[in-house]
Structure 1
Amino acid sequence: MSLCNSTSENRKWSSLFGSSFPMFPVEAFERTILKFVAIAESIDLPFHLTGGSISSVYGEPRLTQDIDIVVSPEVARNRVDDFVHRLASSDFLFTEGVVRQSVENGDLFQLLDKSESLKLDIYPRELIPGELQRSQRLELFEGVFLPVVSRTDAAISKLIWIDKGSQRSRRDLRSIFRGCNPPQQTEIRNAADKLLLSELLDEVLAESDEIR
């Protein structure tokens, strides 16, 4: 965990991140996330935050109770015994068999912080190859900088989820795309072309944000 002085730009990120979680004090989310960070760092497990909360940072703020974390599938498999051991002595409730099988298969598993009653969704796989190497560090809490999915990868992941049927991701994608600079927008379009999703991208971007 990297700590440094706040700036007005970094305070903007933390403000946007915190506004995503109206049902709980932002301090509760900070405590829960940092418990996982401590475990990940203790076994050198690369990770970053993603999902709806990061969409609010990069695009239009929206309410969510999801905390999504991507971890390195290779390191998770190699260090699964250490990972389970650290979890066993933490505040997280989990099922060991589910964690082990999910890590092996690259499937989602969940951790419940029994102290805060908050849930983490852990993805031991990269939706976009190399996304963990492109992570950005943002100040999500005051003085606390954490790795998050890059802006372009956040947009591309939304496009993939839209292709899988997610309607909520459509508005997220438009909002994130508008916040990208021209080179980033070009990168997103190139990625969509490689995924054969260019037509879907154009369709989503042409839609109105108005609720009907």
Structure 2
Amino acid sequence: MEQEKLLQELGKIFEKLEIPYFITGGIATVVWGRPRFTADIDIVIQLALQKLDRLATELLKIDKDVYLDKHTMHEALRTQGEFNFIHPASGLKVDFWILKNQVFEKIRLKRRIAKKIGKQTIYFTSPEDLILSKLVWYKESRSTRQLEDVESVLRISKVDKKYLKKWSELLNISQIFNDLLNKIKST
């Protein structure tokens, strides 16, 4: 199974179960920035407890050999953390991140953008929210991959700089954001 086909399958499941979601991470970077390899799919989901078992059942139907731990799903929901889904035949891994009860996270969900993959509508984080979330990750991890991704999105996608400025200040990443903007201007 390839990434596009898996994204379509997941989109159908979320639509069927009425689970709000958006794709973020490396796949979203490919959509809004430069092409790059990514071995996993990062999805933020707004999951209610009453839909957890139905989601697990639908994910397990994708293939007989998939890995999914229901206990980890319950723990992720309780802690607003993450759980994994692995499709061994293709080597694809999906990291499901539970939507946090934070203002920025709720805004990210409202600002998601629909794109068609084949005939399936798939929701992606906006380019601005991808930039902001990657800068937060960079601040926490110092992973240069995050900065490279942000730079590619800033160079390729038309973005709302006022929104970025406002939220970079609210998220305490304005210095990192401004340094990156200055770097781009000077090259």
CA 1:37–1:172 in 2, change beyond 3 Å: closer, same or farther?
same
Could you tell me how far 1:81 is from its partner in structure 2?
Answer: 2.6
- Whether contact under 8 Å (2:8, 2:120) holds in the other structure is no
Residues 103-127 of structure 1, C-alpha deviation per residue, up to 9 Å, x if partnerless?
A: 2211111101244331111111247
- Whether contact under 8 Å (1:102, 1:109) holds in the other structure is yes
Q: Which amino acid aligns with 1:195?
A: L
Match of 1:136 in 2: 113
Residues 129-161 of structure 1, C-alpha deviation per residue, up to 9 Å, x if partnerless?
A: 32111111113x344331111111111111111
Query: 2-side partners of 1:86 and 1:142: how far apart?
Result: 20
- Whether contact under 8 Å (2:84, 2:95) holds in the other structure is yes
Match of 1:160 in 2: 136
Q: Secondary structure at the match of 2:38?
A: coil
Q: Secondary structure at the match of 1:67?
A: strand
Query: 2-side partners of 1:172 and 1:54: how far apart?
Result: 10
CA 1:102–1:66 in 2, change beyond 3 Å: closer, same or farther?
same
Instruction: State whether structure 2 residue 74 is matched by structure 1 residue 100.
Output: yes
Query: 2-side partners of 1:90 and 1:176: how far apart?
Result: 32
CA 1:55–1:123 in 2, change beyond 3 Å: closer, same or farther?
same
Unpaired segments ≥5 residues, structure 1: 1-26
Query: 2-side partners of 1:175 and 1:191: how far apart?
Result: 19
Bigger mean CA offset, 198-207 vs 150-159: 198-207
- Whether contact under 8 Å (2:114, 2:122) holds in the other structure is yes
Instruction: Specify which of 157, 162, 176 is matched with residue 200 of structure 1.
Output: 176
Query: 2-side partners of 1:187 and 1:45: how far apart?
Result: 27
After TM superposition, the score normalised by the length of structure 1 is 0.75
Match of 1:77 in 2: 49
Matches within 5 A, 1:108-147: 108-126=82-100, 128-139=105-116, 141-147=117-123
Query: 1-side partners of 2:28 and 2:60: how far apart?
Result: 28
CA 1:49–1:94 in 2, change beyond 3 Å: closer, same or farther?
same
Instruction: State whether structure 2 residue 44 is matched by structure 1 residue 87.
Output: no
Q: CA RMSD in A?
A: 2.1
- Whether contact under 8 Å (2:7, 2:122) holds in the other structure is no
Matches within 5 A, 1:172-191: 172-181=149-158, 184-191=160-167
Query: 2-side partners of 1:138 and 1:167: how far apart?
Result: 28
Match of 2:41 in 1: 67
